[in-house]
Copies of this chain bind each other. A is one copy, B any other.
Amino acid sequence: MLILLVNTPTEAQIETVMARVREIGCKPHLIPGEHSIAIGITGNSQALDPGIFTSLDGVSEAIPVTKPFKLASHDFKHAKTEIHVGSVTFGPKHFVVIAGPCAVESEEQTVRIAKAVKAAGANVLRGGAFKPRTSPYAFQGLGLEGLKILKTAREQTGLPVVTEAVDIQSLELVNEYADIIQLGARNMQNFSLLQAAGRLRKPVMLKRGLSATVDEWLMAAEYILNEGNEQVILCERGIRSFDNFTRNTVDIGAVIGLQLQSHLPIIVDPSHGTGRRQMVIPMGKAALAVGANGVMVDVHDRPKEALCDGPQAILPSEFSEMVATLRKMAPATGAHLVGGLG
């Protein structure tokens, strides 16, 4: 923490700040300047709250110099985390392809699409049973029935399943039925839910909040890690910007930056990220190019009948072409697609 004092602070103001630093068991370092004075703090074992100092007289700003996250940081754990789900690995050098319908609509629909994406090369099946929707009047998912359908689809295809939990109650059910628990963008700072997921021993895919900074996202992961669950997969799904040209703005730079700062695997959701079918494949290629550890794609064979997010789902034939392209690109990027085909 670096504390900046106002111009020409009084002796008393300086002394108060110095005393406060010592009170919390840290050491103050006076840095004299032309017009003002700064005080550096050392000896803190974790990030300090700037508010401790900004409320003191004579303090103009308190700048944190330690990143607030710890367990999620590269500094804490140098080796990249590998998460194993059946034969699938989320981690360095692997590129996992997750695909399936946005929402589970019926057993027939889900099994049909699951078989199609499996044939095209998907490694994991996605499908929503609990759907958080902006409107209370929109389709909210099949719930438990949807989870049972996903189980059937897994039995028939061998694909592990990822699906979303939206509250404590659905979390318990998802934990029972799924292989990976998804926590959605709108729940990224639902701290009770994060903690509950942290007490489970199943991989958690944590989507980035619509306007969450990367630091806040890692702090949300920290809530899960801090409860003892080390299997966290980050998922970039587009942030909110001033432009509605695309539904969201996929922050490809954050993927690059996270690979530098954190040991956790990170994947990209180009379907929710762009919201447009024609953009999904190029964005998936970008994810591979920058070193993401996978993609998650909405696939639907009858998009015009889809109960949810039809316009962003690609067809099984397009998905098949996408996987083929990713496999062609993979060697040049240093990754290989899970399954050894990259």
Contacts and interface: CB of A to CB of B under 8 A. Distances in A.
Contacts of A325: 332
Interface in A165-196: 166-169, 186-187, 189-193, 195
A38 B55 contact: no
Given A186-B190, A214-B245, A7 B279 contact: no
Interface string A103-139: 0000000000000000000000000000011111110
Nearest to A45: B34
Contact of A2 (B34, B38, B191, B278): B38
Contact of A309 (B51, B63, B216, B286): B51
Given A35-B75, A282-B290, A239 B241 contact: yes
A216 B251 contact: no
A121 to B, nearest CB: 16
Interface stretch (A80-88, A92-100, A253-261): A253-261
B245 A241 contact: no
B75 A285 contact: no
A161 interface: no
Nearest to A31: B40
Given A54-B310, A55-B311, A273 B289 contact: no
B242 A246 contact: no
A303 interface: yes
Interface string A72-84: 0001000000000
A219 interface: yes
Contacts of A313: 55
8 contacts: A2-B38, A7-B75, A38-B40, A51-B311, A63-B63, A244-B244, A246-B257, A325-B332
Interface of A: 2, 4, 7, 20, 29, 31-35, 38, 40, 42-47, 49-52, 54-56, 61, 63, 65, 68, 75, 132-138, 166-169, 186-187, 189-193, 195, 210-211, 213-216, 219, 222-223, 226, 238-246, 249-254, 256-257, 260, 273-274, 276-279, 282-283, 285-286, 288-291, 303-304, 306, 308-311, 313, 325, 328-329, 332-333
